[in-house]
Amino acid sequence: AVATDVQQVLQRYKSLQDIIAILGMDELSEDDKLTVTRARKLERFLSQPFDVAKVFTGSDGVQVPLDETIASFKAVVAGEYDHLPEAAFYMVGGIDEVIAKAEKLAASAA
């Protein structure tokens, strides 16, 4: 069910990309704007660092337990992390790392 929800959010985002390209984000409904921000966070979150990519990224690989991964994706789709910046979801392991990165980003911006 969670995988299907994630897939639906990403597919809806894909279908909105033409509208965004032509009219911009401002022309979207509030629901569609939420869908776009959640989809972009999901895409970034899918970029978890792998051991084999360390040569390219310089980051150590991270292994996240399946149940934690599923719970994290479910929470992102449900909007529990709407308050966190998109950048916090990029190249991190579990959701705890997302939260820590968001706090670090906020501290460096202050």
Q: In sequence order, what are the residues at sequence separation of 6 or more whose Cβ sits closer than 8 angstroms to the Cβ of residue 43? A: 10
pLDDT tens per residue across all 110 residues of the chain: 999 999 999 999 999 999 999 999 999 999 999 999 999 999 999 988 888 888 887 888 889 999 999 999 999 999 999 999 999 999 999 999 999 999 999 999 88
What is the reported pTM? Answer: 0.89
Distance in angstroms (rounded) separating the CA atoms of residues 21 and 70: 31
Give the domain ranges of the chain.
Answer: 2-109
What topology does CATH give the domain 2-109?
A: 1.10.1140
- Read off φ and ψ for residue 57, nearest 5 degrees: -100, -25
